[in-house]
Chains A and B, each alone.
Chain A
């Protein structure tokens, strides 16, 4: 049975492009503290918890540099587009491979989370959680693509 949840195949390349650009951006942001000044903008916050300042607010406009948020949205949207765009040769077997990869990615991703919960503390745990936000989709993409490559290579011989 054909999956109705898959995106059209044309989403694949733009999704990959968006994902790669956003991952690059988030690396610059995380490891190099890169935040262009022109992205310091007023944003609407449903909830804002300024823990260090000791105050919080609901439905307010705050000033924030949105570079990290833009990259995060790019990773999520680009990742979903690339992960769930139809393949050119989409059929029931590739759908089954997709499900297997999703299960594997879930196991690995939650394995990372368990490890972090048990052994990482303080601000490092926040960073670990930030990584975990994206780990499921990234691991799924890597596993699915690797499985596809192995399958195509192994079934190359035509009889």
Chain B
């Protein structure tokens, strides 16, 4: 799965720390999600969408590997 959290943060002028505080997670977790090393839960993804004021699909998108078993 890929994401454009960094772009969305830039649009909203949010640092990782600020986004982390709004979402109730650590800055390191935001960093890990942004680098694509961790897929967040539905709750976190929806929170992010709410903060960025965009649909979830504009932040996260599936790749071909995600369909493999």
Contact = CB atoms under 8 A, between A and B. Distances in A.
B32 interface: yes
B28 A92 contact: no
A158 B33 CA distance: 13
A96 B6 CA distance: 23
Contacts of B41: 1, 92
Contacts of B25: 89, 91-93
Contacts of A94: 26, 29
Contacts of A93: 25-26, 28-29, 32-33, 38
Interface size class of B (residues with CB under 8 A): 20 to 34
Given A158-B16, A159-B16, A92 B27 contact: no
Given A89-B26, A92-B25, A155 B38 contact: no
Chain B residues touching A, majority SS: helix
Nearest to A158: B16
A91 B15 contact: no
B36 interface: no
Interface in B29-61: 29, 31-35, 38, 40-41, 43-44
Contacts of B32: 93, 151, 155
Nearest to A87: B26
Interface in A42-83: none
